[in-house]
Amino acid sequence: MFYRLARQNSHRHRIFDVFGDFCEMLAIEFSQAVDLTQREQRGARYAALLQKYDRSERERFAQMTACLVNALESGMSDCLGTLFMGMDLGNAGTGQFFTPYEVSRLTAQMTLLGADELIARKGFITLSEPACGAGGMVIAAADTLRSMGVNYQECMHVTAVDIDRTACHMTYIQMSLLHIPGIVIHGNALAPQSPWEQWVTPAHVLGRWDERLACARAVEAMRALLVDDPAHHPGADDAPPPAKTGPDCPNRRAATQMALF
């Protein structure tokens, strides 16, 4: 059905543009609901894209969205990645051959062994995907956590990068529909200091992940301070001064407050 609709929309446009424009417009729709900082610029881009299509073509885009939602509702998978590969839209030059979902799932199961214990201790895990494609590996990680009885919507934060815009849009759409907290960065993973654009998912914003991540970083920094403090590495013969090891130790007090916050 999705293929048929996309092909019908490609009578006046290249199929590559139809798929890319569909993904970009849908990504913008999600982003507009949560990211006020990009609202004006993305709104203008959306209007420009929409103008390219007539009424019946726009209606087909809405039906393509429904197909995608229905597919993801019936089970987690790399739905857009499979469609993208099925339509032969991959750029061989940048190695756009997406991993079959079953293989991503197996990889995630091996990588996330013991993740439930880590989450029980730390509250959440972070996951980095530096060449995300359509987000298949990210979805497989969420799927794996879910099958371990862990709520990935609360306990996993993803940073996904791709050099290709449509890949970023696909990942962002699927992460948004599956309510995966994270940031999708359009950029070169080999030059991470200069990203071109970034997309925060609705789950990232609604879950206040900027604060959660900042807090976790502060706790880590405090822990590092405590470990560096020689008072907390007493040798056999040199007992630390009492005031520094008790609850009044400034480092320990601050770290406790951060952890409680």
How far is residue 129's CA from residue 184's CA, in Å, rounded to a whole number?
9
- Residue nearer to ligand SAM on the CB measure, 20 or 133: 133
Residue pointed to by tokens 């099925």: 86
- Residue nearer to ligand SAM on the CB measure, 105 or 252: 105
Q: How many CB atoms lie within 10 A of CB 31?
A: 25
Selected binder of ligand SAM within 5, 125, 132, 141 (CB under 6 A): 132
Under the binding rule (CB under 6 A), the answer on residue 142 touching ligand SAM is: no
Under the binding rule (CB under 6 A), the answer on residue 245 touching ligand SAM is: no
- Residue nearer to ligand SAM on the CB measure, 133 or 202: 133
Structural Rg of the chain based on CA atoms: 22
Selected binder of ligand SAM within 92, 190, 236, 260 (CB under 6 A): 190
Q: How many CB atoms lie within 10 A of CB 250?
A: 11
Question: Among 49-57, 64-72, 97-105, 202-210, which window interacts with ligand SAM (CB under 6 A)?
Answer: 97-105
Pairing outcome for strands 182-186 and 197-200? antiparallel
Q: How many CB atoms lie within 10 A of CB 24?
A: 21
Selected binder of ligand SAM within 65, 77, 96, 144 (CB under 6 A): 96
CB of 109 to ligand SAM, least distance (A): 15
Beta strands in 15-105 (DSSP E): none
Tokens of 102: 């079953």
Tokens of 106: 């197996």
Nearest one of 233, 226, 219 to 252, comparing CA atoms? 226
Selected binder of ligand SAM within 20, 133, 182, 207 (CB under 6 A): 133
Query: CB–CB of 112/145 below 8 Å?
Result: yes
How far is residue 53's CA from residue 168's CA, in Å, rounded to a whole number?
22
Question: Among 49-57, 163-171, 176-184, 200-208, which window interacts with ligand SAM (CB under 6 A)?
Answer: 163-171
Question: Among 51-59, 126-134, 199-207, 233-241, which window interacts with ligand SAM (CB under 6 A)?
Answer: 126-134
Under the binding rule (CB under 6 A), the answer on residue 188 touching ligand SAM is: yes
Query: CB–CB of 31/186 below 8 Å?
Result: no
* Residue nearest ligand SAM by beta-carbon distance: 133
Question: Among 27-35, 50-58, 131-139, 174-182, which window interacts with ligand SAM (CB under 6 A)?
Answer: 131-139
- In the complex, the residues that contact ligand SAM under the rule CB under 6 A are 81, 94-99, 104, 130-133, 136-137, 161-164, 167, 188-190
